[in-house]
A and B are shown apart, each in its own frame.
Chain A
Amino acid sequence: MAGIQHIGVGPDVVDRSSTIDDWACLPIDPEVKAVVVGFDEHVSYHKLVKAATYLSDPDCLFLATNEDIRFPFETKVVLPATGLCVQAVKEASQREPIVLGKPHKYMFLSIAKSFGGIDPKRTVMVGDTLATDIMLGKNCGLKTLLVETGLNNRQDIAENRFSKSAEKQKLVPDFFIRSIGDLGNGVLS
């Protein structure tokens, strides 16, 4: 949609009988000038070889969408999230990406640029994750509200507030509420 050509999406499966001599012949496209990493359920060794090879050119841009470690869903399995894919490409390439997602400021700054009259002091960030949503709010000088319908809850807040780590002490929102729905029912009626 943005008119940027891309390659690499989808499965890139390693053949059972292939060896390093085959992988040395993997197609590397000379027109690639950037590696962008987001969540990819098809992450594979081939993709890591290609990403690391593209990124061995210091002029090749390295972008990542976000670094969330887990999907915040109630399942009996542990679901690693995008952070896993990004970490794998960082290790494979030995390079650091520009990370666009929360808690990095980019997403708030892009809103403030695109829309007039956004005052950080009169903006609230509502989220379920202390390390991303609330951290973004703190980084950008916003008010912050944690909801307990996702990853974190008031116990996590208390742990952070009384933590010995200065980093953890930053991850304390201004407010918390059980659910955003409660705001609709109780407060705004």
Chain B
Amino acid sequence: MAACRKLTKEIASELIPKIDTVLCDCDGVIWQGNNVIPRTAETLNKLRQKGKRVFFVTNNSTKSRRQYLQKLTKLGFDAKQEEIVCTAFAAAAYLKHSVKLEGKVYLIGMEGMAEELELMGIPYTGIGPDHASGYDFEEWANLPFDPEVKAVLVGFDAHISFHKLIKAATYLNNPDCVFVATNEDLRYPYNSNVIFPGTGVIVQAVKSAGQREPVVLGKPSKHLFESISKSFSGIDPSRTVMIGDRLSTDILMGRNCGLKTLLVETGINSGEDALENERSDSKEQQQLVPDYYIPSLGDLAEFL
């Protein structure tokens, strides 16, 4: 594989004509929380003007496609709903079309996931707070269970609790109960001294409680890319670039799917992290190397 290179104007002028499709991660690439990263909208607009298709591919399970469209529009991005590939939608589509689920979902997740399940016509239970009142085995031994639950779906849940973990573990004790997780990102990137555990921590808690492994849909799994190439014709992996801030999810998915990969430094990882991986003796680390890196997606606007 060619060495990882910093994206310059010259390299960009060679690369861009070879690209038809742009997959763009969101957190740490085009925004940080609710703050848009400068000139990223301009970059994506210029890529569209050059005839490139743009998709927003995010592991963040807290919003539905409709909510992402609202956020994108509010922050000044051109977008259509079908260009948004988020794990809340992917999970509902997977349960409906791949699993062909007949029954309810026990949902550990937020309103965005509930909305996508509703739109797909899949009934669910469990969303929202579910607190233990105290150290009370009687209460735990008599928690209500719904016999119609045939799947446990886990995404980010700010209301994760011991009760929810008992329920998930008990549902998952039936080997026929399907177990799906949106993603396993361990940290949510946010500029503060406070550390935000990501969905991966919630998923690990359910894995640990249930002693089972889920099907994980989000990056680095190939699922999100495969769902795009199934739904849209003419997607050529060798003419597609994945732009992301995280080596272990965005870049790894890109490599797993035979895409070109571009790391931006406005989120989790830096070019230095990539170069360190390239120098590493570990075959695993060597997979976590993009083709290119650039300080910010906004810088690409200058080159276009």
A positions within 8 Å CB-CB of B: 11, 13-14, 16, 18, 20-21, 23-24, 26, 28, 40-45, 48-49, 52-53, 56, 69, 73, 75-80, 83-84, 87-88, 91-94
Contact = CB atoms under 8 A, between A and B. Distances in A.
Contacts of B51: none
Contacts of B188: 20
B195 interface: yes
A165 B40 CA distance: 53
Given A11-B131, A16-B129, A41-B134, A91 B201 contact: yes
Interface in B29-67: 33-34
22 contacts: A13-B129, A21-B34, A28-B194, A41-B132, A41-B162, A45-B197, A49-B195, A49-B196, A52-B197, A73-B137, A73-B141, A76-B141, A77-B170, A78-B169, A79-B169, A80-B165, A80-B166, A84-B205, A87-B205, A87-B208, A91-B200, A94-B186
A92 B201 contact: yes
Contacts of A92: 186, 195, 197, 201
A26 B196 CA distance: 11
A91 B159 contact: no
Interface of B: 33-34, 128-129, 131-132, 134-137, 140-141, 143, 145, 157-162, 165-166, 169-170, 172-173, 186, 188, 190, 192-197, 200-201, 204-205, 208-211
Nearest to B200: A91
B145 to A, nearest CB: 8
A49 B194 contact: yes
Nearest to B203: A91
Contacts of A49: 194-197
Of A23, A28, A80, the most chain B CB neighbours within 10 A belong to A80
A24 B192 contact: yes
A14 B211 CA distance: 26
A99 to B, nearest CB: 15
Contact of A41 (B135, B141, B197): B135
**Top 4 closest pairs, chain A to chain B, by CB:** A92-B197, A78-B169, A80-B209, A52-B195
A79 B158 contact: no
B194 to A, nearest CB: 5
B173 A45 contact: no
Nearest to A25: B194
